[in-house]
């Protein structure tokens, strides 16, 4: 018996060693590429890539293009593992300020960006902050996932409001009335990944507050403007919302909206899109409004969705060729239509694109691009910004004020955190 | 004349076949290492390497996708001066201590009950294991609905029973959010204690209980003087494992609250994840994750020493 066991072991070891030592097949021309994306809320957008674009490209070039979707909110983690292990998909999707964060692991795509800008541009000015690092384009944006006010037109009409309020103070007044009628507001103030910052940065900016200056060294959060924004937020929360929003993550406001628990929230277009598909009666009475103005203007937050080429790509030329083809109007235009205007392109050539005509309720997302800024604006879009977001500095400043902490205390805490993060004095 | 065995008489034979594979495998020393090798390699690759790499990372200023710079203990010093880190430390200890006490008490009660003879005992045993069997993230999503202000079954029951006028904000209130994650962790962890302690209870000879009963010992006395001393080593081991698992519990907190509201439920692992993965500060994230090591090491060493002394 023991001989048999040992024979088995020696055979297994010999087999394993032989397999490990077998030489790899030499690489020829690139036969396949993989693109990794966050799974889209718009099923047709993913489907169009897989069922139409990828087969068309394969037919034209012989290169098979794989599509790896990752769950919503997980793309940053996936991207981290790809660049840290230098393996996996060659073409990666980026959002927010990630081209800055992953700068050293992404290839320069300035040449393609220039071509796209020439053909269907020019590019919107404010996109450069997000994707141009040290004068090099590190990613090619295909569209913005905007965050706007989403509200119930029927309930707003019940209190005599037929047009979405233009200022935060007006929205507060409407919110008070609606809460009394059992239709509170629900703006996320918890640790989600988008719907919290989506309205908090614009609120701060519209009152004149800033986290940090352009130099990335001067922390500006401790100001009377910030104090005004914090005081407003506390009032806004206490007089228009439910307590639960303090613990909400990104799914919570969608759930509450479809549960007919709230009359207004800040969200991407996903509520309307999902409503049209699964809750048509609610979708009929759902509309979008621009973020209200504050004393210092109107702002929105942008989240540019882009494609980048990972530096570990074995054939960068093949990856570039595919992106050049994908961003040609013939492909990009159809893909954006399949995306049902969920992604607002940063290209002026698409200002009057047919995708905007499908539903007038899409138009505020186009309009919002003009006043959109990146998280942490006007500070630099580097690693410190990511750390500040990951630590929820701004979110928790507002959240603590909402639960009753003093304005000066919450600002002091945020200022101390930002000084540590930005290594400021 | 004593005849000595010839332990080395095979030297000639061995030298003759020293180079043969079969001969090498015949030697117990080599064969045993070969058998151990997969396990050892697995531990080296998936436990030792990540652990030491984590320590190395924690000593670096290491941003994602960039080369690191050795900074010694600077990351730990930064965390020491970070108010959120101390809030996270407090949260973690509350979470671990309260859940451990509840799981131990509940698990022991569960084990004592399912150790009794009653109809459908096996079915009940299987059912009680369910919380531990169901994937954590799946059961946590179910708990999200249970704690949801609109759809919460707990709120519905309390309101309809006339006990409260308005439902609680389970995840929005900082105290209730901590209570919520403690409830879910306890619910999920009790079967682990229950089944492990049940195994211990089943090793106790019924003769001991009979003898104690004959001596006039009450139920409580039998539990205290017969049951507890025998299962004590198991209690210690299961507590040790549970504390380790709870310290590193990620899924429940991440899925339910993501550390909110305002860091009220942020624990070491979720904070480390936010710093490392969301913030791209891999060195700082590793330092935050390692911050729980001293407490865990002390606990493990203390409990192991106690166990050996016993």
pLDDT in tens, A53-110: 999 999 999 999 999 999 988 999 999 999 999 999 999 999 999 999 999 999 999 9
User: Among A102, A191, A238, A421, which would you mutate to test the B interface (most chain B Cβ atoms within 10 Å of its Cβ)?
Assistant: A191
**Contact list, B66 vs chain A (CB under 8 Å):** 104
A350-371 residue pLDDT tens: 999 999 999 999 999 999 999 9
B282 in a domain, yes or no? no
DSSP string, A327-338: TSHHHHHHHHHH
Query: Band of the pLDDT at B19, cuts 50, 70, 90?
Result: low
Candidate from A189, A247, A256 with C-beta closest to B257: A247
**Contact list, B278 vs chain A (CB under 8 Å):** 76, 193, 386, 389-390
Contact A233, A185 (CB under 8 A): no
Element (H, E) at A152: strand A148-152
What pLDDT score does A19 carry? 45
Q: Closest Cα to residue A318, out of A80, A12, A61, A55?
A: A61
CB–CB contact A243 B177 (8 Å): no
Contact B149, B169 (CB under 8 A): yes
Query: Band of the pLDDT at B14, cuts 50, 70, 90?
Result: very low
What pLDDT score does B126 carry? 87
Candidate from A101, A190, A390 with C-beta closest to B261: A190
Query: Band of the pLDDT at B303, cuts 50, 70, 90?
Result: confident
- CA distance readout (Å), B172 to A198, A219, A262, B291: 19, 30, 15, 28
Token digits of residue B143 = 């708990």
B112 in a domain, yes or no? yes
Average the pLDDT over B56-79 and give the result: 94
Contact A217, A424 (CB under 8 A): yes
Position B25 pLDDT exceeds 90: no
CB–CB contact B262 A413 (8 Å): no
- φ, ψ of residue A93 to 5 degrees: the values are -85, 140
Locate the chain A residue with the closest alpha carbon to B259.
A191
Q: How many residues does chain B have?
A: 310
**Contact list, A257 vs chain B (CB under 8 Å):** none
- B97 and chain A in contact, CB less than 8 A: no
- Largest interatomic CA distance in chain B: 99
**Burial per residue of B132-149, b for 16 or more beta-carbon CB atoms within 10 angstroms, e otherwise:** beeebeebbeebbebbbb
CB–CB contact A387 B281 (8 Å): yes
Tell which wins on pLDDT, A251 or A18.
A251
3-state secondary structure of A102: coil
SS3 letters across B215-267: CCCCHHHHHHHHHHHHHHHHHHHHHHHHHHHHHCCCHHHHHHCCCCCCCCCCC
Those residues with Cβ within 8 angstroms of residue B71's Cβ, 6 or more apart along the chain or in another chain: B59, B60, B61, B283
* Mean pLDDT computed over every residue of chain A: 92
B201 in a domain, yes or no? yes
B205 in a domain, yes or no? yes
B168 in a domain, yes or no? yes
CB–CB contact A102 B261 (8 Å): no
Contact A353, A367 (CB under 8 A): no
**Contact list, A259 vs chain B (CB under 8 Å):** 150-151
B110 in a domain, yes or no? yes
Contact A89, A36 (CB under 8 A): yes
Those residues with Cβ within 8 angstroms of residue B147's Cβ, 6 or more apart along the chain or in another chain: B154, B170, B171, B180, B256
Query: What is the Cα–Cα distance from B79 to A391, expressed in whole angstroms?
Result: 12
Q: Which residues 385-414 of A have a C-beta within 8 angstroms of B?
A: 386-387, 389-392, 395-396, 399-400, 403, 413
Give the ipTM of the model, two decimals please: 0.87
Residue A66 exposed, middle or buried by CB count within 10 Å (0-12, 13-18, 19+): middle
Position A29 pLDDT exceeds 90: no
- φ, ψ of residue A220 to 5 degrees: the values are -110, 5
CA distance B295 to chain A (A): 24
- B63 and chain A in contact, CB less than 8 A: yes
Candidate from B83, B258, B274 with C-beta closest to A192: B258
Question: For residue B251, what are the domain limits?
Answer: 85-266
What pLDDT score does B2 carry? 45
Please tell me the least confidently modeled range out of A102-106, B49-53, B303-307: B303-307
CA atoms within 13 A on the CB side of B93: 11
CA distance B195 to chain A (A): 34
- φ, ψ of residue A167 to 5 degrees: the values are -125, 160
CB–CB contact A399 B31 (8 Å): no
Candidate from A6, A80, A413 with C-beta closest to B25: A6
Q: Residue A73 region, left (φ>0) first, then alpha (ψ -120 to 50), else beta?
A: left
CA distance B172 to chain A (A): 4
B165-183 residue pLDDT tens: 888 999 999 999 999 999 9
Question: How are beta strands A372-373 and A300-301 bridged, if at all?
Answer: parallel
Q: How many domains does chain B have?
A: 1
Contact B186, B100 (CB under 8 A): no
Token digits of residue B240 = 């040790």
Q: Closest Cα to residue B192, out of B117, B244, B120, B250?
A: B244
Contact B267, B286 (CB under 8 A): no
B308 in a domain, yes or no? no
Q: Which residues 55-114 of A have a C-beta within 8 angstroms of B?
A: 76-77, 80, 83-84, 101-105
**Contact list, B81 vs chain A (CB under 8 Å):** 420
Please tell me the least confidently modeled range out of A5-9, A69-73, A266-270, B102-106: A5-9
pTM as predicted: 0.87
Locate the chain B residue with the closest alpha carbon to A385.
B279
What pLDDT score does B8 carry? 45
What pLDDT score does A300 carry? 97
DSSP-derived secondary structure letter, A276 = H
Average the pLDDT over A223-246 and give the result: 97
Q: What is the number of H-type helices and E-type strands within chain B?
A: 17, 2
**Contact list, B178 vs chain A (CB under 8 Å):** none
CB–CB contact B26 A390 (8 Å): no
DSSP string, B58-120: HTEE-BTTS--EE-TTHHHHHHHT-HHHHHHHHHHHHHHHHHHHHHHHHHHHHHHHHTS--TT
B242-274 residue pLDDT tens: 999 999 899 999 999 999 899 999 999 999 999
Percent of chain A with pLDDT over 70: 93
Query: What is the Cα–Cα distance from B181 to B173, expressed in whole angstroms?
Result: 12
Tell which wins on pLDDT, B14 or B176.
B176
Q: Closest Cα to residue B34, out of A14, A19, A20, A18?
A: A14
Average the pLDDT over B120-124 and give the result: 87
CATH number of the domain that residue B134 is part of: 1.10.3720.10
∠ at Cα B138 (B132, B142), nearest 5°? 100
- A134 and chain B in contact, CB less than 8 A: no
Say what angle helices B49-58 and B282-290 make with each other, to 10 degrees.
Answer: 110
- B175 and chain A in contact, CB less than 8 A: no
B95 in a domain, yes or no? yes
CA distance A320 to chain B (A): 21
Tell which wins on pLDDT, A73 or A322.
A322
Q: Closest Cα to residue A224, out of A299, A172, A296, A171?
A: A296
Position B13 pLDDT exceeds 90: no
Query: What is the Cα–Cα distance from A36 to A306, expressed in whole angstroms?
Result: 11
Position B185 pLDDT exceeds 60: yes
Query: Band of the pLDDT at A121, cuts 50, 70, 90?
Result: confident
Query: What is the Cα–Cα distance from B231 to B136, expressed in whole angstroms?
Result: 28
Percent of chain B with pLDDT over 90: 67
Question: How are beta strands A286-289 and A148-152 bridged, if at all?
Answer: antiparallel
Position A7 pLDDT exceeds 70: no
Report the first-to-last Cα separation within chain A, whole angstroms.
Answer: 75
Locate the chain A residue with the closest alpha carbon to B80.
A420
Token digits of residue B51 = 């652990």
∠ at Cα A388 (A384, A390), nearest 5°? 115
Q: Closest Cα to residue A109, out of A321, A303, A315?
A: A321
Query: Band of the pLDDT at B87, cuts 50, 70, 90?
Result: very high
CB–CB contact B84 A417 (8 Å): yes
Element (H, E) at A411: helix A407-421
Position A11 pLDDT exceeds 80: no
Delineate the domains of chain A, giving CATH numbers in brackets: 32-145+302-372 (3.40.190.10), 148-300+378-421 (3.40.190.10)
Cis omega (within 30 of 0) on the bond before B104?
no
Say how many CB pairs under 8 Å bridge A and B. 132
């Amino acid at each position: 018996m023991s001989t048999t066991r040992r024979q088995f072991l020696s055979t297994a070891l010999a087999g394993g060693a032989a397999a490990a030592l077998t030489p790899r097949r030499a690489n020829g021309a690139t036969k396949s590429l993989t693109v990794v994306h966050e799974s889209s809320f718009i099923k047709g957008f993913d489907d169009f890539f897989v069922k139409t674009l990828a087969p068309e490209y394969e037919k034209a070039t012989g290169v098979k293009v794989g599509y790896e979707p990752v769950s919503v909110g997980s793309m940053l983690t996936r991207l981290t593992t790809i660049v840290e292990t230098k393996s996996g998909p060659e073409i990666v999707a980026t959002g927010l300020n990630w081209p800055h964060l992953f700068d050293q692991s992404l290839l320069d795509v300035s040449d393609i960006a220039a071509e796209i800008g020439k053909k269907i541009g020019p590019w919107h000015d404010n996109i450069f902050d997000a994707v141009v690092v040290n004068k090099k384009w590190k990613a090619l944006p295909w569209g913005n996932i905007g965050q706007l006010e989403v509200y119930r037109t029927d309930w707003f009409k019940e209190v005599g409001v037929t047009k979405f309020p233009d200022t935060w103070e007006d929205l507060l007044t409407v919110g008070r009335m609606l809460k009394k009628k059992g239709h509170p507001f629900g703006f996320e103030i918890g640790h989600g990944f988008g719907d919290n910052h989506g309205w908090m940065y614009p609120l701060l900016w519209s009152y004149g507050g800033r986290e940090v200056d352009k130099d990335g060294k001067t922390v500006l959060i401790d100001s009377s403007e910030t104090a005004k924004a914090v005081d407003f937020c506390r009032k806004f929360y206490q007089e228009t919302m439910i307590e639960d929003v303090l613990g909400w993550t990104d799914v919570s406001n969608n759930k509450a909206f479809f549960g007919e628990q709230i009359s207004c929230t800040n969200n991407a277009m996903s509520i309307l899109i999902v409503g049209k598909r699964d809750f048509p009666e609610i979708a009929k009475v759902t509309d979008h409004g621009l973020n209200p103005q504050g004393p210092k203007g109107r702002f929105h937050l942008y989240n540019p969705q882009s494609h980048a080429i990972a530096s570990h790509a074995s054939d960068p030329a093949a990856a570039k060729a595919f992106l050049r083809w994908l961003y040609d109007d013939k492909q990009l235009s159809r893909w954006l239509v399949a995306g049902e205007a969920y992604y607002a392109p940063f290209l002026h050539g698409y200002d009057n694109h047919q995708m905007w005509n499908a539903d007038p309720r899409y138009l505020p997302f186009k309009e919002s691009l003009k006043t959109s800024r990146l998280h942490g604006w006007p500070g630099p879009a580097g690693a410190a910004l990511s750390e500040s977001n990951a630590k929820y500095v701004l979110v928790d400043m507002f959240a603590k004020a909402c639960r009753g902490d003093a304005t000066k205390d919450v600002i002091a805490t945020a200022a101390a955190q930002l000084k540590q993060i930005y290594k400021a004095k | 004349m004593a005849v000595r065995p010839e332990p080395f008489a095979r030297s000639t034979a061995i030298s003759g076949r020293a180079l043969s594979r079969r001969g090498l495998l015949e030697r117990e020393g080599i064969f045993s290492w070969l058998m151990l090798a997969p396990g050892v390699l697995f531990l080296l690759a998936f436990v030792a390497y990540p652990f030491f790499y984590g320590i190395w990372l924690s000593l670096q200023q290491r941003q994602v996708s960039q080369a690191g710079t050795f900074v010694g203990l600077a990351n730990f010093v930064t965390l020491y001066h970070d108010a959120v880190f101390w809030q996270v430390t407090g949260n973690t200890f509350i979470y671990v201590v309260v859940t451990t006490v509840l799981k131990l008490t509940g698990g022991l009660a569960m084990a004592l009950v399912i150790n009794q003879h009653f109809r459908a005992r096996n079915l009940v045993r299987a059912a009680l294991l369910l919380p531990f069997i169901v994937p954590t993230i799946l059961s946590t999503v179910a708990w999200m609905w249970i704690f949801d202000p609109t759809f919460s079954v707990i709120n519905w029951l309390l309101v309809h029973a006339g006990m409260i006028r308005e439902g609680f904000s389970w995840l929005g209130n900082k105290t209730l959010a901590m209570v919520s994650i403690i409830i879910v962790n306890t619910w999920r962890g009790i079967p682990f204690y229950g089944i492990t302690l049940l195994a211990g209870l089943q090793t106790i000879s019924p003769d001991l209980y009979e003898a104690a009963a004959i001596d006039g010992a009450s139920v409580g006395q039998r539990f205290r003087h017969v049951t507890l001393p025998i299962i004590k080593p198991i209690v210690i081991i299961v507590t040790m494992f549970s504390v380790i698992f709870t310290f590193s519990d990620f899924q429940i907190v991440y899925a339910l609250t993501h550390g909110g509201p305002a860091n009220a439920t942020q624990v070491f692992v979720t904070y480390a994840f936010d710093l490392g993965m969301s913030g791209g500060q891999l060195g700082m994230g590793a330092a935050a994750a390692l911050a729980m090591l001293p407490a865990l090491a002390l606990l493990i060493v203390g409990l192991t020493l106690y166990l050996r002394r016993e």
